[in-house]
Structure 1
Amino acid sequence: MKKIFIILFTGLSLNSCSQPKEEETKTTPPPAVVLKDIFLADPTIFYNEGTYYLYGTTTGNSSLNGEGFQVYTSSDKKNWKGPVGAQGGLALKKGDAYGSQGFWAPQILKYNNQFYMMYTANENIAVATSNSPLGPFRNTSKEPLAASVKQIDPFVFIDDDGKKYLYHVRLTNGNRIFVAELNDDLLSIKPETLKECIAAELQWENTQNVSWPVAEGPTVLKKGGLYYLIYSANDFRNPEYAVGYATSTRPLGPWKKATSSPIISRNLIGENGPGHGDLFLDKDNQWQYVLHTHFSATSEAPRKVAIIEMNFVEKDQELQLQAKKESFRFLKTN
């Protein structure tokens, strides 16, 4: 009996060892997401119902260059998708509105339950409308705002009393910022209200001492009883292109430049050519300024989109604008 028991036990042991081993499961990690810089100049961000919409002058080697305005979207200002415009990535497409070239510096606003795009084309200012921030934006008349000179860089500000003002740049002995009250249709100005706001006259505003000084890219807001006009100066190709601001107690001026030096410059953020952007309030009630910079230390193009926080700081019995250096970052898409 003892001998039989040993044989049975051995058989059981051999049978157990012959069971196949479970194969080890190897998992392949997902490929790393490669984020890409967004190449736009003269950027603007429009916030509407939980979504941020980013527009600007198409730059770089994009096939859409010169064809209209791209738009990117984000829910958090960090993760961007696009271009996602209604027409192959474009929110406004050449042929649907005024202009055949030089589509620059758009601004988006919501007015009378429609979305308006104020923009530059052919060195004139035009207006297009859409039922969606994604477009398509169209201008059926295909005519610019009437003017006796070339004009660019439109920005519409609607005051507490409902009056509307067009801040813009007129090309007359330099790039100079003007303002005029708009008619309610946003398609024409009241000529008798046209006034010059500012020109590039300070040392930082014309570092190359050129005969055609540049002040451009106006953005306006109202806070604490003051109107703030944020602008850029120097030629955009100049590494010292930078951002300053002026204040006034009235939307038509007169304007007083707030400081003798820029509030955003390459000295602050370490990037060449920062400027020509737009100030907006995010969903956390934090002021942000979106802008472009040069591509690198040696190349201006294509320009890249970045963002920086802006704060109002009380100084000398006045609220002054300051940029938060450590918040500066480039916007990217996957």
Structure 2
Amino acid sequence: MRDPFIIETEPGTFVLFGTTDENVWGGPATGFDCYTSTDLERWQGPVAAFRPPAGFWSDTQYWAPEVFRLDGRFYLFATFASSETRVRGVAVLVSEQATGPYLPWSDGPVTPQEFPCLDGTLFIDDAAEPWLVFSRGAEGGPAGAAGIADGEMYAQRMSADLRESLGSPELLFRASAAAWSRPLTFPEGVEPPAQLRLAKDPLFTDGPFLLRSPAGRLQMLWSSFGEQGYAMGVATSESGTVLGPWSQEPEPLWPVNGGHGMILTPSAGGSRLVFHSPNDSPAERVTLVPVAFSADDLRLADCG
């Protein structure tokens, strides 16, 4: 499983989602599965959370499902792509139950269709307005458009019912803003996908997740490549709002061959960093590591 996301549906009951298709990069998509647990160690499943209905616009690259409960319903944000139209973006599904079945809610992607988007996460601001935060990677866009060398992170206002986006997306930062970010590399003898050869030495952004520190600072966990492979860093909004400006921690929170994480704080306490590690398919597994706030900064718990 890649891109894990855990929601606590009631005290002591957890549901785990993630990227679960056998060929996640380009094969025909099956859907999303989920697992349930009461102790975060033993998991039951899989449960078929989403299977595309007839006529669904996307047939490949089902990535990074994240589930949020609002007004008694569960909304799943995930990346989807179409091999026919070459569009890839974030769309919204809905269910009455955390484990599904989920049905399409948005009319296709809620992200811009002029460039490929991925890894959308929901953020509700202090005015109770919903925002989608998502990445633009380094790969090329529809119809073979040239890729970008410096991945980007965006925020997009959403309608109150989460069915559509409002206005234009706002650029938050680029991967190069983090001193620890390095160009995407592949192991010796591994040929990068064609879309990633369009950008020279690309930096990239993915896997955003927003949270408030105990003192109320708005922070974002996000992933890129670092000195030791896939890694996760932390950015802080200087204004306390989703539009920033965002400053970057000089060193990654998790530096070694693992990423696309989120912070789970169970009702019983004890925050955990949830991510996949290693980053090599099909060896990646869900990993939970204790984290804590020290001087209002997010740190691995054993680092003080």
TM-score (norm 1): 0.73
The residue identity in structure 2 corresponding to 1:187 is R
Aligned position for 1:92:
50
Question: Any stretches of 5+ residues in structure 2 without a counterpart?
Answer: 82-87, 139-147, 186-199
Aligned position for 2:142:
none
CA distance 1:146–1:61, change in 2 (3 Å): closer
Query: Is 1:74 the equivalent of 2:37?
Result: yes
The residue identity in structure 2 corresponding to 1:158 is I
CA distance 1:244–1:141, change in 2 (3 Å): closer
Aligned position for 1:11:
none
Show CA shifts across 1:116-142 (max 9, x none).
000101021110101111111001665
Aligned position for 1:292:
276
CA distance 1:261–1:144, change in 2 (3 Å): same
**If each structure's helix is expressed as a fraction of its own residues, which one has the higher value?**
1
Q: Answer yes or no: is the 8 Å Cα contact 2:105–2:163 preserved in 1.
A: no
Pairwise CA RMSD of aligned residues?
2.5
Query: Is 1:306 the equivalent of 2:287?
Result: yes
TM-score (norm 2): 0.79
The residue identity in structure 1 corresponding to 2:282 is A
Q: Percent identity?
A: 26
Aligned position for 2:235:
246
Aligned position for 1:322:
299
Residue 239 of structure 1, CA deviation: 5.2
Aligned position for 2:127:
161
The residue identity in structure 2 corresponding to 1:180 is Q
**From 167, 181, 199, the counterpart of 1:205:** 181
The residue identity in structure 2 corresponding to 1:247 is T
Aligned position for 1:46:
7
Question: Any stretches of 5+ residues in structure 1 without a counterpart?
Answer: 1-39, 267-272, 327-334
CA distance 1:294–1:239, change in 2 (3 Å): farther
The residue identity in structure 1 corresponding to 2:204 is V
The range that moved more, 245-254 or 300-309, is 300-309
In 2, Cα distance between equivalents of 1:274 and 1:262: 11
Residue 217 of structure 1, CA deviation: 0.3
In 1, Cα distance between equivalents of 2:183 and 2:156: 29
In 2, Cα distance between equivalents of 1:176 and 1:162: 25
Rg larger in 1 or in 2? Answer: 1
Q: Map 1:48-67 to 2 at 5 A.
A: 48-49=9-10, 50-60=12-22, 66-67=29-30
- Matched pairs, number: 264
Aligned position for 2:76:
117
**If each structure's strand is expressed as a fraction of its own residues, which one has the higher value?**
2
Aligned position for 2:145:
none
Give the secondary-structure state (helix, strand or coil) at the position aligned to 2:283. Answer: coil
Aligned position for 2:262:
278
In 2, Cα distance between equivalents of 1:301 and 1:208: 19
Q: Answer yes or no: is the 8 Å Cα contact 1:60–1:303 preserved in 2.
A: no
The residue identity in structure 2 corresponding to 1:57 is T
Give the secondary-structure state (helix, strand or coil) at the position aligned to 2:180. Answer: helix
CA distance 1:208–1:93, change in 2 (3 Å): closer
Q: Answer yes or no: is the 8 Å Cα contact 1:45–1:52 preserved in 2.
A: yes
In 1, Cα distance between equivalents of 2:281 and 2:228: 8
**From 64, 79, 82, the counterpart of 1:105:** 64
In 1, Cα distance between equivalents of 2:105 and 2:216: 38
Query: Is 1:219 the equivalent of 2:200?
Result: no
